[in-house]
Chain A
Amino acid sequence: MTAVPANLILSRDDRPIVIAALFIIVILIGGTAYTWMHFGSAPLLSPNYLLQQLQIGSFLGIVAAGMMIVILISQIDLSVPWTLAAAAMLATAIGGPWAIPIGLAVGLIVGIVNGIGVAYLRVPSMIFTLGINAVMRGLMVAHTGGFAPQTAATDLMRYLAAERTFGIPNALFVWLAVSIVVVVILQRTALGRYIYAIGNKEAAAYLAGVNTRRVTVICFALCGLTAGLAGVLLAGYSVKAYQGMGDAYLLPSIAAVVIGGTNILGGRGRYLGTLVGVILIVLLNSVLSIMEMPEAGRQVIYGAVIILMLLVYGRGERVTS
Chain B
Amino acid sequence: MVAPTGEDFLVLAGISKRYGGVRALENVDFACARGKIHAVLGENGAGKSTLIKIAAGVVQPDAGHMRLDGNAVSFASPSAANAAGVVCIFQELSLLPDLSVADNISIAAPPRRFGLIDAKAQRRRAEALLTEIGCEDVNPLLRVRDLPLSRRQMVEIAKALGQRPRLLILDEATSALTSADVERVYTMLARLKAEGVAILYISHRMHEVEALADRASVFRNGRHIETFEKGARSTAEIVQLMIGRDIATQYPSKPRRPRPQPALRIENLSWEKRLDQISIDVGAGEIVGLGGLDGQGQKTLLFALFGVLRGVTGTVSVNGRPVRPGSPAGAKAPGVGIALVPEDRKTEGLMLPMSIADNLAIASLDALSNGPFVNRVKERRAVEGGISRLQIKVGDKNDAVSTLSGGNQQKVVIAKWLMTQPRIVLLNDPTRGIDVGTKQELYRLMRELADQGAAILFYSTDYDELIGCCDRVAIMYDGRIVRELEGAELTETNIVASSLNIDAASSAAAPARVAAHV
B403 — which chain A residues lie within 8 A by C-beta? 1
On whether the beta carbons of B342 and A188 are closer than 8 Å, the reply is no
A268 — which chain B residues lie within 8 A by C-beta? 353
B22 — which chain A residues lie within 8 A by C-beta? 3
On whether the beta carbons of A201 and B351 are closer than 8 Å, the reply is yes
On whether the beta carbons of A193 and B365 are closer than 8 Å, the reply is yes
Q: Which of B308, B351, B352, B353 contacts A205 (CB 8 A)?
A: B351
On whether the beta carbons of A193 and B358 are closer than 8 Å, the reply is yes
Bound form: Cα–Cα A189–B365 in Å: 9
Question: Is B20 interfacial (CB 8 A cutoff)?
Answer: yes
Question: Is A246 interfacial (CB 8 A cutoff)?
Answer: no
On whether the beta carbons of A197 and B351 are closer than 8 Å, the reply is yes
B362 — which chain A residues lie within 8 A by C-beta? 193-194, 197, 205, 208, 210
On whether the beta carbons of A200 and B369 are closer than 8 Å, the reply is no
Q: Which of B328, B348, B349, B351 contacts A267 (CB 8 A)?
A: B351
A190 — which chain B residues lie within 8 A by C-beta? 365-366, 368-369, 372-374
B347 — which chain A residues lie within 8 A by C-beta? 201, 203-204
On whether the beta carbons of B350 and A207 are closer than 8 Å, the reply is no
Question: Is A127 interfacial (CB 8 A cutoff)?
Answer: no
Bound form: Cα–Cα A136–B368 in Å: 41
On whether the beta carbons of A191 and B372 are closer than 8 Å, the reply is yes
Bound form: Cα–Cα A2–B374 in Å: 28
Question: Is B58 interfacial (CB 8 A cutoff)?
Answer: no
On whether the beta carbons of A204 and B351 are closer than 8 Å, the reply is yes
Chain B 329-340, CB within 8 Å of chain A: the 1/0 string? 101100000001
From known contacts A191-B372, A201-B347, infer whether A208 and B328 are also in contact, taking CB-CB under 8 Å: yes
- Chain A stretch 189-229: residues in CB contact (< 8 A) with chain B: 189-191, 193-194, 196-197, 200-201, 203-211
Question: Is A319 interfacial (CB 8 A cutoff)?
Answer: no
A189 — which chain B residues lie within 8 A by C-beta? 369, 372-374
Question: Is A4 interfacial (CB 8 A cutoff)?
Answer: yes
- Chain B stretch 399-414: residues in CB contact (< 8 A) with chain A: 399-400, 403
Question: Is B327 interfacial (CB 8 A cutoff)?
Answer: yes
In this complex, what residue of A is CB-closest to B372?
Answer: A189
Residue of A193, A194, A201, A207 most packed against chain B (CB within 10 A): A207
A-B contact count (CB 8 A): 86
On whether the beta carbons of A197 and B399 are closer than 8 Å, the reply is no
From known contacts A1-B20, A4-B21, A207-B348, infer whether A197 and B358 are also in contact, taking CB-CB under 8 Å: yes
- Chain B stretch 368-393: residues in CB contact (< 8 A) with chain A: 368-369, 372-374
From known contacts A3-B22, A200-B352, A267-B351, infer whether A208 and B363 are also in contact, taking CB-CB under 8 Å: yes
Residue of B347, B351, B365, B420 most packed against chain A (CB within 10 A): B351
B331 — which chain A residues lie within 8 A by C-beta? 209
On whether the beta carbons of A200 and B21 are closer than 8 Å, the reply is no
On whether the beta carbons of B354 and A196 are closer than 8 Å, the reply is yes
Residue of B308, B369, B399 most packed against chain A (CB within 10 A): B369
Question: Is B361 interfacial (CB 8 A cutoff)?
Answer: yes
Q: Which of B348, B361, B369, B395 contacts A204 (CB 8 A)?
A: B348
Bound form: Cα–Cα A267–B354 in Å: 9
Bound form: Cα–Cα A298–B400 in Å: 40
CB of A28 to closest CB in B, whole Å: 34
On whether the beta carbons of A3 and B20 are closer than 8 Å, the reply is yes
Question: Is B432 interfacial (CB 8 A cutoff)?
Answer: no
A211 — which chain B residues lie within 8 A by C-beta? 327, 329
From known contacts A1-B403, A3-B22, A209-B331, infer whether A201 and B365 are also in contact, taking CB-CB under 8 Å: no
Bound form: Cα–Cα A171–B351 in Å: 38
- Chain B stretch 277-319: residues in CB contact (< 8 A) with chain A: 306, 308
In this complex, what residue of A is CB-closest to B332?
Answer: A209
- Chain A stretch 129-160: residues in CB contact (< 8 A) with chain B: none
A208 — which chain B residues lie within 8 A by C-beta? 328, 362-363, 416
Chain A 34-62, CB within 8 Å of chain B: the 1/0 string? 00000000000000000000000000000
CB of A213 to closest CB in B, whole Å: 9
CB of B204 to closest CB in A, whole Å: 24
Bound form: Cα–Cα A210–B349 in Å: 12
B332 — which chain A residues lie within 8 A by C-beta? 209
On whether the beta carbons of A2 and B21 are closer than 8 Å, the reply is yes
CB of B283 to closest CB in A, whole Å: 24
On whether the beta carbons of A3 and B21 are closer than 8 Å, the reply is yes
On whether the beta carbons of B349 and A207 are closer than 8 Å, the reply is yes
In this complex, what residue of A is CB-closest to B376?
Answer: A188
Q: Using A4-B20, A207-B342, A267-B353 as known contacts, list a sample of 4 further A-B pairs with CB atoms less than 8 Å apart, ordered by residue number in A.
A: A1-B399, A2-B21, A194-B362, A207-B308
Which residues of B come within 8 Å of A, CB atoms?
A: 20-22, 306, 308, 327-329, 331-332, 340, 342, 347-354, 358, 361-363, 365-366, 368-369, 372-374, 395, 399-400, 403, 416, 420
Return 25 A-B CB contacts under 8 Å, by A number.
A1-B20, A1-B399, A1-B403, A3-B20, A4-B20, A188-B373, A190-B366, A190-B368, A190-B369, A193-B365, A193-B374, A194-B365, A196-B354, A200-B351, A200-B352, A201-B352, A203-B348, A204-B349, A205-B351, A207-B306, A207-B340, A207-B348, A209-B329, A211-B327, A267-B351
Which residues of A come within 8 Å of B, CB atoms?
A: 1-4, 188-191, 193-194, 196-197, 200-201, 203-211, 267-268
